[in-house]
Amino acid sequence: MGEIRWGRVLRLSVVALFSFALFLDVFLAWFYVSALIRPGCSSPRPNLAFPHPQVQEIATPDGLTITAWYYPSQNGAAVISLGGQGGALGANLPPVDVLIENGYGVLQIGSRACAVPPSPVTLGAKEVFDAEAGLEFLLTRPEVDPEKIGLFGFSMGGVTAIRTAARDERVAAVVAEGGYFNMGRDFVEPDAKKTLPRAVFLYTIAGVFWARTGVCPWEISPIDDLPKISPREVFLIYGENEIASGRGREQYQAAREPKTLWVVPQGAHGQNYTVAPEEYRQRVLDFFSTE
């Protein structure tokens, strides 16, 4: 009887330990994903070096109202600015000062976290709707040449720019900085050596993201979208300290001509403009000037 009792206790202990480990795994993954998709809503300030932008409330195809700031075009061309989780308003990346200074219209798109109603940030998936809404807005502006509308994105915004251009031929050109290559693979790190608990945790993160956003992370795949942009030109920017993790060279190889890759010496994610501000400004201006 004693052996039976101890065997039952042991089985119950194993089940309890497994259940606790599973609970902890899901809890931590939920917390991690929350930081990604619910970054909070900030209140950026306009750049005082320029006239106050026109504040626009644009409607997305999936039913949100999202804030955008518009600097009207003086030369017929316009660029939609797409940022990271916090959006592109104000001084948020990508840096658009050089475009405004040279007469380009710039439409900075805000974060889904600040939309009405507030919505999860989906790391470049549903943000395509925001870019499409921005494109529709610019096409109503009489000062904008419909054949001269480009996209300029940083991080998640770079992914959004690539995915939007692959789906909408009205986009004339794309600058994308520091984006990942495939969200699902970026989550689970299939090529990296890792312990079984870490592998389980990474797949749990991917699953929780899928459950909470309704988006399969493996379907957010800029590396598969890049070839569809040709014959329109794409300009990829990566810092030398981020290009490996973002598979920047593989993405460049996947893209078709015309294409350009700039690897910023000593650059890192979010720091490329700081490391080489003048060259950054000139390269971006030269790229859009030739389109």
Q: What is the pLDDT of residues 75-131, one digit of tens each?
A: 999 999 999 999 999 999 999 999 999 999 999 999 999 999 999 999 999 999 999
Q: In Å, what is the CA distance from 15 to each residue of 19, 21, 189? A: 6, 10, 29
Give the list of residues 6+ apart from residue 91 with CB closer than 8 angstroms, or none: 44, 45, 47
Q: Which two tokens stand for residue 231?
A: 């014959």
- Predicted pLDDT of residue 45: 80
For residue 9, the model assigns a pLDDT of 59
Report field, pTM of the whole predicted structure over 0.85: yes
CATH architecture of 47-182+220-289: 3-Layer(aba) Sandwich (3.40)
10-residue stretch averages of pLDDT, the chain, 291 residues long: 60 63 84 95 80 94 97 97 96 95 97 96 98 98 98 98 98 98 95 90 96 97 98 98 97 98 97 97 94 63
**Taking the domains of the chain in order of start, what are their residue ranges?**
47-182+220-289
